């Protein structure tokens, strides 16, 4: 056992005395000691119930012959940080969470770890740690929130933000929507970043079936947590680690599922970052190749409006059904190991769509191409990403004048002030990993645009990123970013910008000599007085095209 270095032998009597101070007896100390990396807190709706998940995991570990110990990481609610400086801390928290799990597992020589996240950057942060540590590990999330209901409409967080931008709606009606939109614990009800990553964890084989879709408030979530504890106990006893699970095939499977369900563009930051910790390189070229080869089978909110949410995906068969449909056309390779000790093929079995309105068959998809797309061109030489499945037809191929803003706040003021016209191309720059720093999500601008009825009339391009809840003409992760001297830094008001999603192009239609002249005259990014974690992050973070990882080689 890894934990023997902490607890075994005469020289470790003092160590055992400390463990006994926890209430553990000799029998418990003699067993494998497995950590539960929790993230329960009382400010994030997706995490407020996670203590019950921790307890169920502990029960599963005990049943499997292990001794559980619980510790917590931090957790940021992206919804609560939207539209202000707090969002700068969200993406950096991913790295801190990763290091927190690593520190606790390594410092205490734990024999394994069960990861219990639910929202936003907590999931990829924990998975990055698991890939780096190469110990027995599995992930079980807290599950999605149920959608709210107001009259005949299903609601979620994004719909509230969109309604808030509709000036024709009375304060009383808005309050009714606000009161009903988020009715339960869990991560927000649409296929936003948290739910995307929890679903992709199933495709990676690091989580059991149902992890991404069993609602937070259903008893099945507790059973899933207990079974995950048992699974890690078996991994410890059998000497299995995550190393063979985090394979190239597994990451390709996850990318294929991402394209099939039309997940959050943030997954194209997180999957490369997790893969890097496993010694695997995922570049945007590989990601786009998989996009072209994978049909889009689902249109879960925000894609296709707000008709279907996570509970609908669950009832239609969840991720096993999506994998089953993709396997029918050879788009995934299910002969890969999982934390259950079975192959992904054995876990999926004969699962197929139970509702073809929610999960289309691979032979009759919503689109023959995946729900995400990677664009390149003179405005984004290293790439940019768009949630194709949530984009209206009009902006897929568009040419319009640039409206340039050097911060999210300036852009929001212009949008709300009626200064944006149909056909405009809004450029929000200096919001990338270095430029922010922290690469803020631009949900408030896109929700405001949608709420004003302009989602299909304007294009928004940024070196920042978007919430998984964003819909409309929204292109993010433009690389190189403005702060690194990318072409987006040299766009001027009125410059013609052209996008063609089907051709995978994003261009500034300005003569190259003029761009070179602007580059020569550029004084560099705006100076910002930084302290603490943001100062460190700004110095170490790399391009969004690499997953916004931290540079550690020098």
Beta strands of 25-111 (E only): which ranges? 33-38, 67-72
Q: Is 467 a catalytic residue?
A: yes
Task: Tally the residues of the chain.
Answer: 554
The Cα 390–Cα 260 span in angstroms is: 13
- The residues near 295 (Cβ < 8 Å, ≥ 6 apart) are 259, 260, 329, 331, 360, 362, 365, 366, 367, 368, 369, 370
Residues in a beta bridge with 513: none
Cα 199 to the center of its chain, rounded Å: 10
Answer yes or no: are the C-beta atoms of 214 and 56 closer than 8 Å.
no
DSSP at 439: -
Tokens of 439: 């690469």
Q: 3-class DSSP state for residue 343? A: strand
Tokens of 265: 């563009």
Q: What does residue 500 show for φ and ψ, rounded to 5 degrees? A: -145, 100
The Cα 48–Cα 86 span in angstroms is: 20
b vs e for 343-353, b when ≥16 Cβ sit within 10 Å of the residue's Cβ? ebbebbeebbb
- The residues near 433 (Cβ < 8 Å, ≥ 6 apart) are 91, 439, 481, 537, 541, 542, 543, 544, 548
Tokens of 358: 């929610």
Answer yes or no: are the C-beta atoms of 264 and 387 closer than 8 Å.
yes
In terms of Cα–Cα distance, which of 368, 327, 26, 77 is closest to 203? 327
- The residues near 260 (Cβ < 8 Å, ≥ 6 apart) are 294, 295, 296, 297, 298, 322, 325, 326, 331, 370, 371
Tokens of 475: 């292109």
Q: Which residue in the list 467, 479, 543, 545 is annotated as catalytic?
A: 467
DSSP at 302: T
- The residues near 454 (Cβ < 8 Å, ≥ 6 apart) are 420, 422, 472
The Cα 114–Cα 236 span in angstroms is: 11
The Cα 26–Cα 23 span in angstroms is: 10
Residues in a beta bridge with 528: none
Instruction: Calculate ∠ Cα 152-387-473, nearest 5°.
Output: 80
The Cα 144–Cα 215 span in angstroms is: 5
Catalytic residues: 467
């Amino acid at each position: 056992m890894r934990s023997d270095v902490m607890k075994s032998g005469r020289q470790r009597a003092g160590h055992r005395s400390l463990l006994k101070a926890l209430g553990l007896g000799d029998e418990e100390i003699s067993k494998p000691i497995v950590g539960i990396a929790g993230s329960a807190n009382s400010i994030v709706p997706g995490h407020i119930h996670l203590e019950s998940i921790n307890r169920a995991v502990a029960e599963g570990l005990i049943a499997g012959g292990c001794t559980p110990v619980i510790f917590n990481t931090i957790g940021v609610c992206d919804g609560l940080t939207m539209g202000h400086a707090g969002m700068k801390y969200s993406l950096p928290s991913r790295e801190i969470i990763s290091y927190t799990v690593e520190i606790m597992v390594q410092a205490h020589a734990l024999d394994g770890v069960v990861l219990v996240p639910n929202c936003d950057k907590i999931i990829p942060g924990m998975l990055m740690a698991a890939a780096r540590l190469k110990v027995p590990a599995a992930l079980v999330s807290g599950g999605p929130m149920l959608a709210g209901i107001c009259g005949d409409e299903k609601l979620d967080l994004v719909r509230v933000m969109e309604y808030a931008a509709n000036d024709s709606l009375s304060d009383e009606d808005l309050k009714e929507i606000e009161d009903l939109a988020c009715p339960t614990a869990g991560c927000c009800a649409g296929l936003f970043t948290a739910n995307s990553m929890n679903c992709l964890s199933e495709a990676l084989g690091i989580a059991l079936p149902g992890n991404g879709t069993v609602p937070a408030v259903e008893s099945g979530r507790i059973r899933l947590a207990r079974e995950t504890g048992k699974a890690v106990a078996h991994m410890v006893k059998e000497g299995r680690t995550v190393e063979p699970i985090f394979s190239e095939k597994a990451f390709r499977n996850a990318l294929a599922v991402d394209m099939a369900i039309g997940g959050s563009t943030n997954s194209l930051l997180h999957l490369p970052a997790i893969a890097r910790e496993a010694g695997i390189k995922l570049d945007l070229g590989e990601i786009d190749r998989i996009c072209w080869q994978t049909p889009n089978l689902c249109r879960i909110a925000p894609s296709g409006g707000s008709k279907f949410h996570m509970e609908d995906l669950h009832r239609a068969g969840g991720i096993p059904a999506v994998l089953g449909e993709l396997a029918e056309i050879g788009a995934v390779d299910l002969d890969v190991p999982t934390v259950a000790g079975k192959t992904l093929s054995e876990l999926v079995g004969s699962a197929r769509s139970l509702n073809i309105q929610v999960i289309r068959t691979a032979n009759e998809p919503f689109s023959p191409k995946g729900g995400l797309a990677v664009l390149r061109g003179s405005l984004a030489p290293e790439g940019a990403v768009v949630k194709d499945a949530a984009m209206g037809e009009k902006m897929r191929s568009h040419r319009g004048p640039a409206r340039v803003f050097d911060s999210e706040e300036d852009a929001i003021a212009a949008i709300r002030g009626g200064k944006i016209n149909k056909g405009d191309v809004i450029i929000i720059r200096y919001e990338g990993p270095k430029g922010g720093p922290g690469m803020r999500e631009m949900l408030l601008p896109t929700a405001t645009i949608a709420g004003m009825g302009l989602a299909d009339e304007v294009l928004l391009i940024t070196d920042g990123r978007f919430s998984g809840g964003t819909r409309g003409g929204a292109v993010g992760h433009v690389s190189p970013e403005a702060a690194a001297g990318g072409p987006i830094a040299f766009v001027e008001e009125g410059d013609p910008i052209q996008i063609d999603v089907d051709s995978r192009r994003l261009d500034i239609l300005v003569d190259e000599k003029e761009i070179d002249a602007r580059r020569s005259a550029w004084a560099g990014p705006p100076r910002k007085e930084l302290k603490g974690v943001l100062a460190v992050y700004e110095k170490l973070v790399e391009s969004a095209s690499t997953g916004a990882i931290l540079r550690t080689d020098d």
